[in-house]
Structure 1
Amino acid sequence: MEKSLSEHKLVTDAADLAPIAEAVRGAEAVGVDLETTALSPRDGRIRLLQVATPDETHVIDVFEVGDLSPLKEALEDGPVKVGHNLKFDYSFLKDEHGIALSPIFDTMLAAQLLAGGNQSPAFSLEAVAERELDRKLDKSARREDWSGKLSEAQIEYAARDAAVLLPLREKLAERLREEELLRIAKIEFAAVATIAEMELAGVKLDVTRWKELEKVVRKRRDEKALELDAQFPEPEGMLPLEGLGPRLNLNSPQQITDAFRTLGIELADTKVWTLLKVDHPAAKLLLEYRELQKKLGTYLETYPKFVDGKTGRIHANFLQCRVPTGRLACTNPNIQQIPHEDEFRRCFVAEEGYTLVIADYSQVELRILAEVSGDPAFVEAFRNGDDLHRVTAATMYGVTMDEVSKDQRSAAKRINFGLMYGRGAKSLSAQLGASEERGRQLIDEYFANYPKVRSFLQKTASRAVRDRTLRTIAGRVRKFGDSGPLDDKGAMRREAMNYPIQGCSADIAKLALVYVREDLKSLDARLVNCIHDEFVVECREEIAAEVAERTSAAMTRAGEAILKKVPTEVEVATSREWRK
C-alpha cells in the first residue's frame, strides 16, 4: 500500500536535529521545503523547514529550534535535495543560516525542461504533482499567517508539500532520462545556487547619479518633443504658443498619423519599421522622442523604487527556465535590459573598496553558428582570430579587411545577426536604411559567401515544421506544439533558425555560472549580474586581476565543454562602474 503523504513529525526541540541529520545522510534523496513569513529573505524569516525522508517527514519549527547548524553538513552534502523552485529555499537558508543546499533536483525546473519552452502548462507544485502523479494537493493553507501559532492544518499542509517531492522526483527523473535531458538538467540544477546567490548579492545603484541623469534625459525628451512639433505646419489662424510645449499628443497614434498627413505622408501605422522607411526628419525625431520617453518611463523613473532599504542595493528576480531558449530572464526590475550607453551603466557601481570585473563572450552566437553549420569561412575566421563582421564586410563589399569602413562593418554586423534571427529582405532593408531590393541583394551575396550557413538555417527551419522539435548541442529541447501562435509556419521557421544558436548560448552561460561560482568561492568576490553572455563580478580591488583571470578561465572552460570546432574567447575589463 502506498504510504500516506501526510505522515509527519513536528520538531520543536533542537536536540532532535542530530538524529534528523543522520537520517538525511542515510537516504538517497530527501525532500526539502520551507514555509516563510514573507517572499524575500530580506523581509521575512523561515518558520518551518520540512525534510522528507522515505520513512518520515520532519516538520521543523525554526522559530522554536533556532539554530539549524546541526543540519548544515547533511544539507550541503550527501543525498540529493529535492525541492520545487529551490532558488527560493536556497536563498532563505543561505541568507538566514549560511546553509547552501547541495546537490539538488528541482522539480519545477525539470517540469519546465520537459515542457520544451511551452509556458501553457502551469508549473506550480500543485499543478506538476497533479499532472505527473495524479495527486491533488490542498493549497488552501498557503496564504495563512505563518508567523503566529500554527494550526494542525498548516503543519499537515507543510508536510504534504515536502513528502510529495520524492515520488515526483522519481517520475520526472525517469522522463528526463527517456527524453535525453539529463545533461541539460544537471547544468540547470547546478546553476540554481549561483543564481540564488546573485539575487542575494544584488547590484548597487548610485541613486544620486541616476536622478541627475533623469533630469538630463527629461530635458532632452522635452526638447525633442518641441523639435518634432515644429516639423508640422501651424493650424490655420493659430499662432505658436511659446513655452507651452508641443501641440500634439505624441503618444497618440491617431494624432501622429494626422500630423504626418499634413506633410503629405500617409502612414499605415506608427510602428518602428514603418517610420524607419519614411524619408522625412519628423520620422527620425519621433523615433528619438519615443526612445527618450522609454528611458524615462521604463528605467529612470522606476529603478530607484527597487533599491532595498536594508541593503541599499537592487535585488532583481532572475527567471531560470521561463524563456523557450533557456536564457535567463529578469524582473523587478529587469537589470538585463539597462540601456547600453555609458551614462546609464556608469550609475551601477561597486561598493567602497570593491571594483567590478566585467567579462563577456566575444561574438558567442556567431561562434555557435560556425559550430553548428560547419561553414568553413565562418570556422576559419574564428580560428584565425579575425573579426567576423569585418571579414563579412570585406567579402560583401569587395574590399580588403583594412579598407572596411565603420559603416560597412556596422551593416555586416546587422546582416550577420539579422539573418541568424530569420529576418528577411523587408526588415533587414529597413534596419539598414536601404531599399528592399538592395536588402534582397545583400542577403543573396551573404549566402553566396556562406552557403553552409544558408543550408543549416533552411534545414533547421524545415525540421522544426516537420518534427515540431529541435535540440541544442547540449540537448536542451524546444517543442513547438501543434497549435497556438506558432501554428504560423513563418513565425515557427524564424524562431527555429535561431533556437539552436541562442539556446546553445544559454547552455554555455548556465554552465559558466556554475564554473565561475566554483572558481571564485574562496575569494572575496561575488557574481552580481548576468546579461546573457556578459557576467559582472564584484570583488575587492586588490584581487581584481586574479578574479578577472579566474572568471575568464571559467567562462572559457564552459564554452570549450560545448563548442569543439571553434575557439571560445572572453573579453574582460575592470572598473569601479559598470562600463568597459
Structure 2
Amino acid sequence: MEEKTANYTLVTDPKELPRVVNALEEAGAVGADTETTSLSPRDGEARLLQLATPDETFIIDLFEVRDISPLKEVLEGGPVKIFHNSKFDFQFLKELHGISAAPVFDTMLAAQLLDGGRQGAAYGLDAVAERYLDESPDKSEQRSDWSGKLTGRQLEYAARDAAVLLPLREKLLEALEAEELVRVSKIEFAAVSSIAEMELAGVKLDVGRWKELEKTVRERRDEAALALEAHFPEPEGVLPLEGLGPRLNLNSPQQITDAFRSIGIELADTKVWTLLKVDHPAARDLLRYRELQKKLGTYLETYPKFIHPKTGRIHASFLQCRVPTGRLACASPNIQQIPHEEEFRRCFVAENGYTLVIADYSQIELRILAEVSDDPAFVSAFQKGEDLHSLTAATMYGVSMEEVTKDQRSDAKRINFGLMYGRGAKSLSAQLGTDEARGRQLIDEYFNNYPKVQRYLQRTANRATRDRTLRTLAGRVRKFSNDPVEDDRGAMRREAMNYPIQGSSADIAKLALAYISRDLRGLDARLVNSIHDEFVVECREELAPEVSEKMRGAMTRAGERILEKVPVEVEVVVSREWTK
C-alpha cells in the first residue's frame, strides 16, 4: 500500500513502484539515501530507500518491497542520483539488490574537494548542510533501530535526509563551478562505484602462510633484540636470570638513550634520521629490531582478525578524499601499506581457479614532473623510452649509461624522488649514507643537469607561499593555511613542491579505476586492491590475457587524459600471488 503525508509517500506495495519510476524519470536530479540495520551489507540489511524529487519524496520500505528491480533501469541511468557518502549506499544497493547507482553526485566528496585538503572540517550531512544551506538536519534518529516497526519520527528523518540533498547539490555545484572544480569532481564521482565494488570484493589472505611468516619474523625480532643488547654492558649489580627476556625495554626512548650513552654515544633522540647517521652497529640493530617489531604488531598479528567469517576475505575501507593530494587512503586494515617484501605479498592470493592481474604505471610521478617542468632532458628520456634513474646516475657520476652501477642507479632513484618530495641536503645525505656536504654537491649536480626541474620546484613553492593555493593538472585544488600559528613555511614549501605531482597521479589513478571497472564489465573479473598507481584484479585464469590488455588500455587512456607531452607506460604481471 501507499501512505502519503505532507512530507513523504511511504511505499510498502510493489505495485506502486511504476509510479515511483515515472516520477524519477521526469526529474532532472534525485536525492537518494538509505537507512540500514548495519554499517556493512555483509552484516545487515537496507531497511529504507529514500528517493526525493523536487515535487515528492518516496520512502520505500525494503522489508515490505523486497524486489525493487522495476527501479533498476532508472537508478542505473537517467537523472543524476545525489548521495551523501555515496559509496555506503552504493554497496547496499549493489550487494543486496543488484543495482549499481549511476550517475551520481556525492555531496560529501564535493564539500571535501571545495575545502582543498584543509584539515579539521566535519563532513557529515548535518555539518555540510549547515555550512552551505544554513540549516542543520536533525540526526538524532540516525542510530535508532531500523529493523523493527518504524515510527513517524524515523520516517520524517529519512525523508528529510533525501530531500535536503536537492538544494544542497545546487549550492555545491555553484561552488564547484566558481572554483573550477567540476572536472575533478566528475573524476571523483566516476570512481565511487569502482571503489565500492573493490571493497565488496575484498582480498584473500592465505592464513597458513601468514602464520608461518609471523613465526619467522618473531624469531628474527628476538634475534635482533639479543644482537642489540650484546652491544651494551651488563648493568652493575644485576645478575642475568635465564628466561626473563630482554634487559632493556627496547620501546623506551629513555632506556635506549641511556644504553647508547653507556657505549659513549650521545643521541639527541631515537628517531630514524638520527640513528641513520650513527656509525655504530648498535644503531643498525636497533633500526632492524624496530622494523621487525612493526611488521609483527601492525601486520602479522592483526590482519587475520579482519577476515570476514561469511566471505573468508579481508574487506578494507578505502577513503576517497581524506588526504590533501586526493590519493586513496585505506583503513581497517590498511592493505595499501603491506611491506613490499615478496614473503609478505605472496600471502595475498587468488581463489582456486582464479588468478591475479597486477598492473602499475611505470614511474608515473616522474613522468608528471617531466610534464609540469617541461625539462627537455626529462621529457626526452621518457619519449625515447630511456630509464630515467640510469640517465640521472650517468650524468651525475660522469659515466655512460652502460657503466652505471646498481648502487649508482639506486642513489639516483633516491635523489629523483627525494628532491621531488622537497628533501634537502640533510635528509638526502642521511638516506644515501653520506655526509651533508656530499648531499649538497649531489643536489647541485642534479639541478645543473635538470635546470627546469629546479625552476619548477622553486616556482611552485613560491606560488604556494604567495597565493596559498595550488592545483593539479586536472584542477584539484590545495588550499594552504593562512593561520600564523599553523604556518610552517619550510614544511609548506616541501609539501607544495610535491602536491601537483602526487595530486595529478591521484587524478590519473581515479580515472583508471573508473575505466578499468567499465572495461571489465561482463567478465568474471573484479578489482580487489588499489595501491596508488598499482591495481590488482582477480579473474578467472583463462581470462588473464584479455583482462591484462583491458587493464593496460584503460590505464593508458587515463594517463593520456592528463599528460600531453610525456608517454604513459603500464607494466602488467599475471600471478596467483600478489608478486611481480
| TM-score between both structures, scaled by the size of structure 2 | 0.98
Paired residue type of 2:14: A
Match of residue 167 from structure 2: 167
Q: Counterparts of 1:255 and 1:312 in 2: how far apart (Å)?
A: 43
- Give the distance between the partners of 1:240 and 1:382, measured in 2 at CA: 61
1:53 is matched with: 53
Structure 1 contact 486–492 (Cα < 8 Å) conserved:
no
- Identify the residue that residue 189 of structure 2 maps to in structure 1: 189
Counterpart-to-counterpart distance in 2, 1:140 and 1:180? 36
- Partner of 1:50: helix, strand, or coil? strand
- 2:251 corresponds to: 251
Matched, 1:7 2:7: yes
Letter aligned with residue 412 of structure 1: A
Q: CA offsets per residue over residues 32-63 of structure 1, 9 Å max, x none?
A: 00000000000010000000011011011100
SS state of the match for residue 58, structure 1?
A: strand
Question: What's the offset of the Cα at 1:22?
Answer: 1.1
In 2, are the aligned partners of 1:520 and 1:547 still within 8 Å (CA)? yes
Distance in 2 separating the partners of 1:307 and 1:246:
33
Count of aligned positions: 576
Equivalent in the alignment of 1:337: 337
Distance 1:119 1:550 in 2: 38
- Matched residue, 1:557: 557
Question: In the alignment, which residue of structure 2 is the partner of 1:464?
Answer: 464
Which residue pairs with 1:531 in the alignment? 531
Contact 1:359 1:536 survives alignment (8 Å): yes
- Give the 5 Å matches for 1:110-129: 110-129=110-129
Q: CA deviation at 1:245?
A: 2.9
* 1:417 matched to 2:417: yes
Residue 118 of structure 1, CA deviation: 1.1
What are the residue-to-residue correspondences of 1:52-91 with 2, within 5 Å? Answer: 52-91=52-91
Which residue in the other structure is 2:29 paired with? 29
Structure-to-structure mapping, 1:111-510, within 5 angstroms: 111-238=111-238, 240-483=240-483, 486-510=486-510
Q: CA deviation at 1:486?
A: 4.8
On the 8 A contact 1:6/1:160 being kept in 2, the answer is: no
Task: Provide, for residues 307-332 of structure 1, a one-character-per-residue CA deviation record: whole Å limited to 9, x for no partner.
Answer: 00000000000000001000000000
Structure 1 SS opposite 2:121: coil
Give SS of 1:65's match: coil
Report the Cα distance in structure 2 between the residues aligned to 1:176 and 1:38, rounded to whole angstroms.
33
> Equivalents in 2 of 1:220, 1:44: separation in Å?
42
Residues 6 and 163, structure 1, Cα contact 8 Å, conserved in 2: no
Show CA shifts across 1:389-448 (max 9, x none).
Answer: 000001101111111111111110000000000000000000011001110111111001
C-alpha displacement of 1:235 = 2.4
AA aligned to 2:177 is R
Q: What CA distance in whole angstroms lies between the structure 2 residues aligned with 1:499 and 1:485?
A: 22
Cα offset, 1:136, TM superposition? 1.7
SS of residue paired to 1:10: strand
State the shift of 1:481 in Å. Answer: 2.2
Post-superposition shift, 1:26?
A: 1.1
Equivalent pair of 1:6/1:156 in contact (CA under 8 Å): no
Aligned-pair distance for 1:242?
Answer: 4.6
- Is the Cα–Cα contact under 8 Å of residues 6 and 159 in structure 1 kept in the other structure? no
Shift in Å at residue 209 of structure 1?
0.9
1:156-196: CA deviation from partner (whole Å, max 9, x where unpaired): 00000000000000110111011110100011000000000
Distance in 2 (CA, whole Å) between partners of 1:262 and 1:313 is 49
RMSD between aligned residues: 1.1
Counterpart amino acid of residue 435 in structure 1: D
**So what's the TM-score if we normalise by structure 1?**
0.98
SS of alignment partner, residue 64 of structure 1: coil
Partner residue, 1:44 = 44
The 10-residue stretch of structure 1 (93-102 or 229-238) with the greater mean CA deviation from structure 2: 229-238
Q: 1:485, 1:443 → 2: CA distance? A: 31
* Cα drift, residue 243 of structure 1: 5.0
Match of 2:575 in 1: 575
Structure 2: 5+ residue runs without aligned partners?
none
3-state DSSP class of the match of 1:144?
Answer: coil
Moved over 6 A (4+): none
Secondary structure of the residue aligned to 1:561 is: helix
Tell me which moved more, 244-253 or 388-397.
244-253
